[in-house]
Amino acid sequence: MPPPLKMEPSLHDVVELTKALIAAESITPARGAVFDVLEAALVPLGFQVERFVEGEAPDGPVENLLATRGGIGPHLAFAGHLDVVPPGEGWTAGAFTPEIRGDLLYGRGAVDMKGAIAAFAAAAARVPEATTSLLITGDEEGPATYGTPRLMERMAERGVKPDLCLVGEPTSAQRLGDTIKIGRRGSVVISIDVPGRQGHVAYPHLADNPIPRFLRALAAVDAIALDAGNDWFQASNLEIIDVHTGNTASNVIPGKASARVSIRFNDLQQGPELIERVRAAVHGHAPEAIVEGRVFGDAFLTHPGALSTLVADAIEARLGIRPELSTSGGTSDARFLVKLCPVVEFGLLNATMHKLDEAVAVADLHALADVYAGVLERVSR
């Protein structure tokens, strides 16, 4: 086995690299300094690093990073994102000033998911013989328009095709290692606009109040029966998430009533078909309504097999527990990557992601690096 490649000590340590990534503010869509930090960590490890920026406001510009390194065994890709959600007000200390207090490292992105990226870089330093790549985007927390899909296009141009993919999203629920995600539900958001004609409430014959038929249409949407779930997925759910008319006066009949519907669906459903079902339900009561939907991702499932077993074995060897295989939670960029190869997700505890005072246990960072190294060792045998 060749000796490990050397890198700057501060970036070789998983905690120090996590701190450096947190300190590089990267509210979505991200680019620039945070990618400089990661590139500085990867190049000394023998990775060929390519960075590119695409897109314009409001969804961009977005930076993506593709890092590849040859070796032995199947090609394992690690996918993640360096962009973070806005920190909000009320942090105990600065959201982008990493600080260890007690056993925890605080900072926006510590859990979701700069800590996991740092852990994989540290693991790659310890297993230099593995064929591996990092697929890192600056647009996972946003619409993903210029993120992972563009990375996949660049990979196709370069002939980069992984055999397996591990996504470092924070999947652990109660303790590190208790959950692996082998699939995710899909997501679709649908807007409903029922037009009317504005007028004075004292002269209803001169107006057209859209609200009565709007309410009947929403009741029909709410009554749509989806499914009861299956062996790997919970039941799909449809939620009315917003209702408004924009009317602030007490003596005006509004000229329009609008709503938004969000559906999280399993692999028994398809996004475009759900949009059509909602449209049909609405038009049954308000034929003139405008119904438009956007599919943010279809459901996917990587059936239990070689990849999930490999990751579970590495978790059990280091942490002494056998993880649950789950499809719960929201969407992730795995919904795109599954088109390339089998994909599973495994990362840190998700209890504080997107919250004030987001924090990761220092011990968990070291343990996650150990697990990721175990995965790389198993792949390269």
Task: Please give the sequence-ordered ranges of beta strands (E in DSSP) within the chain, or none if there are none.
Answer: 48-54, 62-69, 72-81, 99-101, 104-106, 130-137, 164-167, 179-181, 183-184, 186-195, 199-200, 237-244, 252-253, 256-265, 290-297, 300-301, 324-326, 343-345, 359-361
Task: Enter the tokens of residue 123.
Answer: 């693991």
Counting Cβ atoms within 10 Å, is residue 363 exposed (0-12), middle (13-18) or buried (19+)?
Answer: exposed
The one-letter code for the residue type at 361 is A
Known active-site residue 83: yes
Name the pTM for this structure: 0.89
Beta bridge partners of 243: 259
What is the C-alpha end-to-end distance of the chain, expressed in Å?
11
Question: Pick the catalytic residue: 63, 83, 139, 298?
Answer: 83
Question: Pick the catalytic residue: 54, 63, 139, 140?
Answer: 140
Alpha helix stretches (DSSP H) within the chain: 9-12, 14-23, 33-42, 115-126, 148-158, 211-222, 271-283, 306-319, 334-337, 362-379
Task: Enter the tokens of residue 147.
Answer: 């993120």
Q: How many CB atoms lie within 10 A of CB 173?
A: 15
Closest to 83 (Cα-Cα) out of 31, 150, 149 = 31
**pLDDT values of the chain reduced to their tens digit, one per residue, 381 residues:** 344 444 455 677 999 999 999 999 999 999 999 999 999 999 999 999 999 999 998 889 999 999 999 999 999 999 999 999 999 999 999 999 999 999 999 999 999 999 999 999 999 999 999 999 999 999 999 888 999 999 999 999 999 999 999 999 999 999 999 999 999 999 999 999 999 999 999 999 999 999 999 999 999 999 999 999 999 999 999 999 999 999 999 999 999 999 999 999 999 999 999 999 999 999 999 999 999 999 998 999 999 999 999 999 999 999 999 999 999 988 899 999 999 999 999 999 999 999 999 999 999 999 999 999 999 999 999
194-238 residue pLDDT tens = 999 999 999 999 999 999 999 999 999 999 999 999 999 999 999
